[in-house]
Structure 1
Amino acid sequence: MGLRKKNARNPPVLSHEFMVQNHADMVSCVGMFFVLGLMFEGTAEMSIVFLTLQHGVVVPAEELPSGSRTLYHYGVKDLATVFFYMLVAIIIHATIQEYVLDKISKRLQLTKGKQNKLNEAGQLSVFYIVSGIWGMIILTSENCLSDPTLLWRAPPHNMMTFQMKFFYISQLAYWFHSFPELYFQKVRKQDIPGQLIYIGLHLFHIGGAYLLCLNHLGLLLLMLHYAVELLSNVCSLLYFGDERYQKGLSLWPVVFISGRLVTLIVSVVTVGLHLAGSQTRNANALSGNVNVLAAKIAVLSSSCSIQVYITWTLTTVWLQRWLEDASLQAAGRRRRSRAKKSTENGVVIIVIINDN
C-alpha cells in the first residue's frame, strides 16, 4: 500500500504554523482538563480553585444593612483563577477572529496591514463594549452612579462583592491573554514593544486598584478610559469599511482630550477627598488601609502617567498622519502640474496611482 501524500496545507505538528492555526483547540483541551477535574473527588478541590472565586467570607447580618452575604478579598489563589479565565479569553478571542473578523476581512479584501489593524480594532471593540456594559451594571447596583460621593465618603476596605471581584479577575485575565496573542496573531517585531507597554500599563493600573482596595474608583476610571478607546476603535472600523468616514474622524481628538481631562479630574477629586480623612502612619494594604500620603502620591502619579503616555502616543500618531497626508497632497499637486504642462505641449500623460 502506497503512502498518502502529505497535504501541503497542513503544517508539521508542533511547528509555528501548527501552533498558530490550532492554538484555540489546544487551549480548549487544557481548559477542559480543569473542568473534568470536578468529576473526581481527588481533583475536585484543586479544580475549584481554578474555576471559582476564592477567599470568600460570610459577613453576618448585624454588620451589613442588607443582611448576611458573602464578600470576597484578594489572595494568592486568585492567580489560579486568573490563569483559567485567561484560557477562556484566548478561546473567545479565536472564536471572534474566525467567525466574524476573518469573514469581514475577506469581504472587504483588505491588505495585510489593514487586516491586522481591523483585527485589533474589532477584538478591542468587543471587549470594551462587554466591559462597559458590565461595569455600568456594577456601578448602578452598588449605587455609585446615583450617589457619586460614595467614591470618597466610604472608607477603603478589603472586601468586595462577587460581581466586583469577578469583574477584576476577568479584566486581569483578558490583559494577560494579550501576551500569548502577540505570538498567535503574528505581530511584527517592531510593533511588539509598543504593545507590551500598552498591555503592561493596563495590568499595572487594574492590578493596583485591585490590590489597594480602590475598586470603585478603578472601575469608574476604567469605564471612562474604555469609552474613549471604544470610540477610537469604532472609528477605525468605520474607516476600514468606507474611507469616506475618514473626515468624520476629526471629532475623535475632541472626545479623546475631553475623556482624558475628565479622568484626571475624577482621579484628583476622588483620591483627594476619599483619602483626605484621618491619615494613618501604619499602612496595611491587606486590611484596606492605604490612607497615607505615599499611597495618595502613588495613585495620582500612576493615573497621570498613563494619561500622559496615551496622549503623547496619540499626538505622535496624529503628527505622522498629518505629515503623510501633506506629503501625498504635495506629490499629487506636482503630478497634476506636470500633467498640465505636458497636455499644453500636446502630450497626454496618464498616471495610474495604485493606493493599494
Structure 2
Amino acid sequence: MAIRKKTSKNPPVLSHEFVIQNHADIVSCVAMVFLLGLMFKETSKFAVSFITVQYNVTISTQEGQEDTAVSHFHHGIKDLATIFFYMLVAIIMHAIIQEYVLDKINRKKHFSKTKHSKFNESGQLSIFYLFSFCWGISILFFEHLLSNPVTLWEGYPHTLMPFQMKFYYICQLGYWLHALPELYFQKTKKEDIPRQLVYIFLYLAHIAGAYILNLNRLGLVLLVLHYFVELLFHISRLVYFSNENRQMGFTLWAILFVIARLLTLSLTVLTIGFGLSTAENQGFDLATGNFNVLFVRVTVLAAICLTQAFMMWKFINFQLRRWREYTQTQNLKKKQAPSKSKSKKDKANGVNGVNTHQADSPRPKKEKSS
C-alpha cells in the first residue's frame, strides 16, 4: 500500500523529513513482512503469533441434545506481538484517513494553524470513538452484559473471553500505542505533547489494567460509556469549526460528561467495592488469574476515583475559562457600543452646530450701486 504526499522537495533518505513524509509506506512494508511470513512453513509459526489472536481454549457446551464447541481466549505474553502488529495497522489507517479525508477538507475550509491541528485531532478521534463505541455496544449486547449487571462481578475471575472481546482489547491497546509515534509523525507542537502524553498514558494504564486483572467486563462497559461522551465532544468541535455559532453540542456534552463520571464511579464501587468484596472466591492466585484481594481492590478503586477527579478538575477549569472568555467579549461589546453611539452624536452635533451658526450669522449687505 503506497500512501505518498505530493511534494516538490525530495528530502535525503532516512532523514527526519523523509521518515515523516513516507512513514505510512515504511510501516506498510514492515506489516507486509509479517503477512508474507504466512506463506512459508518455516516462518508461519512466527508470523501467526503477530497476526492472529493467541491462547485459544475450546469449551464444549450442550444446547438441547447437541454438543457444540465454543472457542474462548485468555491473555498471555504472546499478546504483545499481536498488539505490535495492530499498532502498525493503526498507523496505516491513521495515514489513510489523514490524507484522503481530513487533508481534503482542510484544503477546502482553509483553517488556521491552530484550527488545523485541532480539526485533525478531532477528526481522527471521532472516527475511532465511533467505531469503538459501535463495536463495544455489539459485544455488550451479544454477551448480555447490559441486561444483567450482576455478570460484571459474578464468576470472577473472568479469565476466558470470547473472540470479539479479546480482539477488542488488542485493537484498543494497539491504537493507543500507535498514538505515541504519531506525535513524531504529525509534528506535534512541544506545548501540546505533555497534554497528549497524559491522556495516552491514562488510556493505556486503564485498558491494560482491566485486561491483565481479568476485569474485562467492567472495563468494556466503562470504555463504551466514556467513548460515547468523547465522541459527542469531538463531533461538537467539528461542527463548531464549520460554523462557530453552533455550540449546542458543547452544552449537551457538558451535561453528559458529569453524568458519565457519576456512572463510572457508581459502577466501579458496585463491582469492586461490593460485588468482588462479598464474593466467595477471594485470594491471590496468579495461576488461575484471581486478583480478588484487598490491596488490588483498593488500588483499582483509588486509580479510577483519582482519574475521575482529575477529569472533573480539568472539566471545571475548561468551563471557567470559557465563561471568562465569554464575559470578556461581552464587556468589550458593551464598551464599544456606547463609544460608537457617542461618536455618532458628536458628529451629528458638529454638523448641526455649523448649520445653526451659519444661519444665525448676519449676512453681508449688498452695496447699492450709485
Task: Normalising by structure 2, report the TM-score.
Answer: 0.86
Shift of 1:330: 2.4
Shift of 1:333: 2.9
The 5-angstrom pairing of residues 23-62 of structure 1 reads 23-61=23-61
Residue 231 (structure 2) aligns with = 230
The 5-angstrom pairing of residues 307-346 of structure 1 reads 307-346=308-347
Instruction: Write out the 4+ residue segments of structure 1 that deviate beyond 6 Å after TM superposition.
Output: none
In structure 1, how many angstroms separate the alpha carbons of the residues matched to 2:225 and 2:215? 16
User: Does 7-16 or 294-303 show the bigger shift?
Assistant: 7-16
The yes-or-no answer on 1:21 pairing with 2:25 is no
SS in 2 for 1:159: coil
SS in 2 for 1:213: coil
In structure 2, how many angstroms separate the alpha carbons of the residues matched to 1:103 and 1:307? 37
Residue 197 (structure 1) aligns with = 198
> Which of these two proteins has the greater Rg computed from alpha carbons?
2
Residue 145 (structure 1) aligns with = 146
SS in 1 for 2:178: helix
Residue 118 of structure 2 aligns to which amino acid in structure 1?
K
Shift of 1:259: 1.1
How many equivalent pairs are there? 339
Shift of 1:33: 0.8
Change (3 A) 1:24 1:286: farther
Change (3 A) 1:115 1:286: farther
Change (3 A) 1:278 1:242: closer
SS in 1 for 2:227: helix
SS in 2 for 1:85: helix
Residue 19 of structure 1 aligns to which amino acid in structure 2?
V
User: Does 78-87 or 36-45 show the bigger shift?
Assistant: 36-45
Change (3 A) 1:66 1:149: farther
In structure 1, how many angstroms separate the alpha carbons of the residues matched to 2:88 and 2:205? 20
Shift of 1:66: 7.3
Residue 354 (structure 1) aligns with = none
Residue 301 (structure 2) aligns with = 300
In structure 2, how many angstroms separate the alpha carbons of the residues matched to 1:159 and 1:87? 26
Residue 351 (structure 1) aligns with = none
The 5-angstrom pairing of residues 1-356 of structure 1 reads 8-61=8-61, 67-278=68-279, 282-346=283-347
User: Does 304-313 or 92-101 show the bigger shift?
Assistant: 304-313
Percentage of identical aligned residues: 49
Shift of 1:15: 2.6
SS in 1 for 2:71: strand
Is the CA contact (8 Å cut-off) linking 2:129 and 2:228 kept in structure 1? yes
Aligned-residue Cα RMSD (Å) equals: 2.0
In structure 1, how many angstroms separate the alpha carbons of the residues matched to 2:79 and 2:91? 18
In structure 1, how many angstroms separate the alpha carbons of the residues matched to 2:213 and 2:123? 32
SS in 2 for 1:346: helix
In structure 2, how many angstroms separate the alpha carbons of the residues matched to 1:280 and 1:107? 60
SS in 2 for 1:189: coil
In structure 1, how many angstroms separate the alpha carbons of the residues matched to 2:213 and 2:61? 26
Task: Normalising by structure 1, report the TM-score.
Answer: 0.90
Shift of 1:345: 2.5
Residue 39 of structure 1 aligns to which amino acid in structure 2?
M
Residue 340 of structure 1 aligns to which amino acid in structure 2?
S
In structure 1, how many angstroms separate the alpha carbons of the residues matched to 2:23 and 2:94? 11
In structure 2, how many angstroms separate the alpha carbons of the residues matched to 1:134 and 1:251? 23
Deviations 1:309-337 (A, max 9, x none): 11111222222222222223323333333
Is the CA contact (8 Å cut-off) linking 1:71 and 1:160 kept in structure 2? yes
Q: Any stretches of 5+ residues in structure 1 without a counterpart?
A: 1-6, 348-356
Q: Any stretches of 5+ residues in structure 2 without a counterpart?
A: 1-6, 349-370
Change (3 A) 1:51 1:194: same
In structure 1, how many angstroms separate the alpha carbons of the residues matched to 2:87 and 2:288? 28
Is the CA contact (8 Å cut-off) linking 1:86 and 1:176 kept in structure 2? yes
Change (3 A) 1:337 1:20: farther
Residue 31 of structure 2 aligns to which amino acid in structure 1?
G
In structure 2, how many angstroms separate the alpha carbons of the residues matched to 1:252 and 1:147? 27
Deviations 1:60-84 (A, max 9, x none): 448xx97432221111111000000
User: Does 107-116 or 15-24 show the bigger shift?
Assistant: 15-24
Shift of 1:89: 0.3
Shift of 1:247: 4.4
Change (3 A) 1:155 1:326: same
In structure 1, how many angstroms separate the alpha carbons of the residues matched to 2:20 and 2:166? 32
In structure 2, how many angstroms separate the alpha carbons of the residues matched to 1:209 and 1:286? 17
